[in-house]
Structure 1
Amino acid sequence: MLNDSTARYGSVSKFFHWVMATLLAWQFLKFFDRISDGEHWVGENLVPYHVSIGTVLLLLVVLRLVWSIRQSKQRPEPENASRVLVKAGHGLLYLSMLLMPISGIMYLVGKGYGLKVFGMQLIARGEEMQWMADLGHYHSPIAWVMLVLVAGHIVMGLVHHFIKKDNTLKRML
């Protein structure tokens, strides 16, 4: 089933969710780059793809937002008591998934590095633009907020599965 239904998410929504979850987990490995100046396996083998994976995530989140809007009428709805919290939590997750790659690109372009994705120069190197670099400095604080949001998302999925036993997690599995 490609489309979502009121009972569960369809295969397209599940694809977006789990592929993006995997790529975000990879991106969060960048936190290890702060240890020993990246001189370890994670820093040497995974972190070099950080910009490329971030750019892929930006494309995926835009496609996912379009898909979500198209599916909004037939998606599973949270229970009435938590509807506002669920919508706010998901909204903040989507916002952070958009702001992360945008702020990263702003930092790179603002510093004059341009944007190179999987070896292809998408935005040429150029002059520094301080205003853009300044906005790009929010990339790290947004990453920490996003890490907390993702952790909360995981915890709530587990709470619904193991404590409430309401099949919320099964809708996305």
Structure 2
Amino acid sequence: MRFANGPHSFGLVTRALHWIIALAVIGMLGFGTYIARMEVGLGNYMLFTWHKSIGVTIWALVVLRLVWHWLSPPPAPMGQNWKTTLARAVHVALYILLLAVPFTGYVASAASGIDVQVWGLTLPNPVTPSEATEATYFALHGVLTKLMAGLLLLHVAGALSRRDGTLGRMVTGEAG
């Protein structure tokens, strides 16, 4: 079992990070949609704290994955056609969104003037509390989240439509 990526295969670290992040993001899309319909109060404050904690954890895992890909570059795409070009663009956009969505949520939460707590730790407040900043960043957070959901659907559809072993590489490490 290889931990690092090979010239034609994904290693265990890349595959584990991919699937952990994927499942966490899908769960957070549902969880975020659920809590977005709530008004923050003492009775549900913990749900919002969990959402922030999981979001920051996903952000950290994405940063770890980017660092890992710098240390252990992923294999080249299989084949070169319009699907490969589209997949590359979707991947880049997803990475940007995986970093931007938690960031916008963090800034929006910090702008509320309420401490942002992540797994019991209080994060520093990067902005001056402001209703306008809070509203702007929560709106941006919502738009970026919807864009990410759409790109995730495109990513999954693309992976399922390919018949060249690409999906097999992300599941087993090797093209099947």
Which TM-score bucket, shorter chain as reference?
0.7 to 0.9
Q: Measured at CA, do residues 125 and 79 of structure 1 come closer, stay the same or move farther in structure 2, by a change above 3 Å?
A: closer
Q: Is the 8 A contact 1:4 1:71 kept in 2?
A: yes
Give me the whole-angstrom Cα distance separating, in 2, the residues matched to 1:32 and 1:122: 24
Q: Is the 8 A contact 2:104 2:137 kept in 1?
A: yes
Give me the whole-angstrom Cα distance separating, in 1, the residues matched to 2:76 and 2:147: 26
Q: How does 1:17-166 map to 2 (within 5 A)?
A: 17-29=18-30, 30-34=32-36, 37=38, 49-72=50-73, 75-82=75-82, 83-123=84-124, 127-129=128-130, 132-133=133-134, 134-160=136-162, 165-166=163-164
TM-score computed with the length of structure 1 as normaliser: 0.82
The 10-residue stretch of structure 1 (107-116 or 118-127) with the greater mean CA deviation from structure 2: 118-127
Q: Is the 8 A contact 1:4 1:75 kept in 2?
A: yes
The 10-residue stretch of structure 1 (120-129 or 102-111) with the greater mean CA deviation from structure 2: 120-129
In structure 1, what residue type is equivalent to 2:129? E
Alignment partner, residue 171 of structure 1:
169
TM-score computed with the length of structure 2 as normaliser: 0.81
Give me the whole-angstrom Cα distance separating, in 2, the residues matched to 1:113 and 1:51: 13
Q: Measured at CA, do residues 31 and 77 of structure 1 come closer, stay the same or move farther in structure 2, by a change above 3 Å?
A: same
Q: Measured at CA, do residues 47 and 106 of structure 1 come closer, stay the same or move farther in structure 2, by a change above 3 Å?
A: closer
Return 5+ residue gaps in structure 2 as ranges: 172-176
For residues 38-92 of structure 1, give each alpha carbon's deviation from its aligned partner in whole angstroms, at most 9, with x where no partner exists: 8xxxx899665211000001111111111122333x5132421133222111000
Q: Measured at CA, do residues 44 and 168 of structure 1 come closer, stay the same or move farther in structure 2, by a change above 3 Å?
A: farther
Alignment partner, residue 13 of structure 2:
12
SS of 2:5's partner is coil
Q: Is the 8 A contact 1:100 1:143 kept in 2?
A: yes
Post-superposition offset of 1:131: 6.7
Higher relative contact order, chain-length normalized (CA < 8 Å, sep 6+)? 2
RMSD over aligned Cα, in angstroms? Answer: 2.6
Q: Is the 8 A contact 2:105 2:137 kept in 1?
A: no
SS of 1:114's partner is coil
In structure 1, what residue type is equivalent to 2:12? S
For residues 11-36 of structure 1, give each alpha carbon's deviation from its aligned partner in whole angstroms, at most 9, with x where no partner exists: 0101110110111111011213356x
The 10-residue stretch of structure 1 (43-52 or 137-146) with the greater mean CA deviation from structure 2: 43-52
Q: Measured at CA, do residues 119 and 95 of structure 1 come closer, stay the same or move farther in structure 2, by a change above 3 Å?
A: same
In structure 1, what residue type is equivalent to 2:142? S
For residues 70-126 of structure 1, give each alpha carbon's deviation from its aligned partner in whole angstroms, at most 9, with x where no partner exists: 333x51324211332221110000000000100000101122123101222123698
Question: How many residues get paired?
Answer: 163
